[in-house]
């Protein structure tokens, strides 16, 4: 495979440009993430962090630049991405949405083993056993047969994490994981994600607007502001000495 500037990186984004009509949301964003990192994309709303995530997961096409996620290479284009590359991308990565989007007509367990059975063609029994292990890992073994509408927000989120992990991804994307959680549950989530990173050898990429959460969990923070990356580094360093004045105002707003 073609070696980029950052051959060891698991995710490489170079000059990513994304426009919605006349509005440019990402103005040539570049960064590279190493395997095993926990990365937080932070910034004010409208800064482009969620859009960057959607471009990396192949849910959005983009107008300029390059995105590499594992072995999958995404090119700019007006419509859909190359099928082969997308397939590769899906095998490399999983995603947990802000609203989780569990399948409401399936139980927690069915939500988890649906994709391994239907997409990978795993035997039902194998997939079921694996799904039970995953649900136990996220602390939901007692809720296997619950339907999503009967589950709390935190439970749905953990189920969605198990669902994503069932496909054995190298990278897990998460969109605003704290937005629907009670403050006391955030600590549980931090613990769970750190544990998963180690046991599953995951790279975690998450979007959050909460700098404090990013500081507790991430070993690297990217601040996106009006479509540009204005900070890229260790969260403690950024908090202590932000290089860009706009970061200061963003952090100041945070409190």
Partner 1 sequence: MVPARMNRHIGNVACLSLLAALVLSCGGGPRETGLERVRRTGILRWGGDLQGGEPYVFDDPEEPGRLIGFEVELADAIARELGVEAEFVQNDWSSLVPSLERGSFEVAMNGLEVTPSRADTVLFTRPYYIFSAQLVVRRDGGDDIHSLDDLTGRRVGTLSNSLSWELLNATGVEVVTYEGVEEPYSDLESGRLEAVLLDDIIAARYGLNRPTLRLAADVAEGYYSVACRPGDEDLRDAIDDAIETLATSGELRRILSRWEIDDEREAHLTTWEDEDTHAMLLVHSRASFSSHHVVLFLQGAFITVLISALAMLLAIGFGLLLALSRLYGPQPFSWLATTYVELFRGTPVLLQLYVLYYGLMPTLRRLLGFEMGIDYDAFIAAILGLALNYAAYEAEIYRAGIQAIPPGQMEAATVLGMSKMLALRRVIVPQAFRIALPGVTNDFIALLKDSSLVSVITVVELTKRMTITAVEVRSWLIPGIACALLYMAMSYPLSLLARRLEASLARQGES
Of 7, 84, 119, 241, the one binding partner 1 by CB under 8 A: 119
Distance CA 214, CA 31 (A): 17
* Contact between 149 and partner 1 per CB under 8 A: yes
Bridge partners (DSSP) listed for residue 32: 12
CB 143: neighbour CB atoms within 10 A? 20
Contact segment (CB under 8 A) with partner 1 among 31-39, 57-65, 66-74, 229-237 equals 57-65
Shortest Å, Cβ 4 to partner 1 = 24
Residue 85 tokens read as 């590359």
In the complex, the smallest distance separating the C-beta of residue 58 from partner 1, rounded to whole angstroms, is: 8
**Residue 200 binds partner 1 (CB under 8 A):** no
Binding status of residue 104 toward partner 1 by CB under 8 A: yes
Q: Which of 43, 47, 48, 94 binds partner 1 (CB under 8 A)?
A: 94
The binder of partner 1 chosen from 4, 14, 82, 114 (CB under 8 A): 114
Does residue number 19 form part of the binding site for partner 1 (CB under 8 A)? no
Q: What is the binding site for partner 1 (CB under 8 A)? A: 57-59, 87, 90-91, 93-95, 97, 99, 101-105, 114-115, 118-120, 149-150, 163-164, 167
């Amino acid at each position: 495979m073609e070696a980029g500037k950052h051959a060891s990186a698991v995710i490489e984004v170079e000059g990513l440009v994304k426009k919605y009509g006349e509005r440019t949301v990402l103005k040539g964003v570049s960064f590279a993430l190493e395997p095993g990192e926990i990365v937080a994309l932070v910034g004010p709303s409208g800064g482009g962090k969620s859009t960057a995530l959607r471009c990396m997961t192949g849910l959005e096409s983009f107008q300029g630049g390059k995105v590499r996620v594992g072995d999958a290479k995404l090119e700019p284009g007006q419509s859909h991405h190359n099928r082969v590359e997308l397939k590769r991308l899906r095998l490399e990565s999983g995603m947990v949405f802000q609203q989780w989007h569990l399948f409401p007509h399936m139980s927690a367990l069915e939500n988890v083993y649906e994709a391994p059975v239907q997409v990978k063609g795993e035997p039902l029994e194998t997939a079921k056993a694996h799904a039970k292990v995953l649900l136990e890992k996220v602390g939901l073994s007692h809720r296997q047969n619950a339907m999503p509408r009967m589950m709390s927000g935190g439970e749905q989120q953990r189920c969605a994490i198990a669902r994503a992990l069932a496909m054995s991804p190298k990278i897990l994307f998460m969109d605003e994981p704290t937005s629907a959680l009670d403050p006391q549950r955030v600590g549980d989530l931090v613990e769970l994600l750190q544990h998963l990173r180690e046991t599953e050898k995951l790279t975690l990429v998450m979007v959050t607007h909460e700098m404090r959460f990013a500081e507790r969990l991430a070993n690297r923070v990217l601040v996106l502001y009006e479509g540009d990356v204005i900070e890229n580094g260790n969260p403690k360093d950024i908090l202590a000495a932000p290089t860009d004045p706009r970061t200061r105002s963003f952090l100041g707003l945070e409190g």
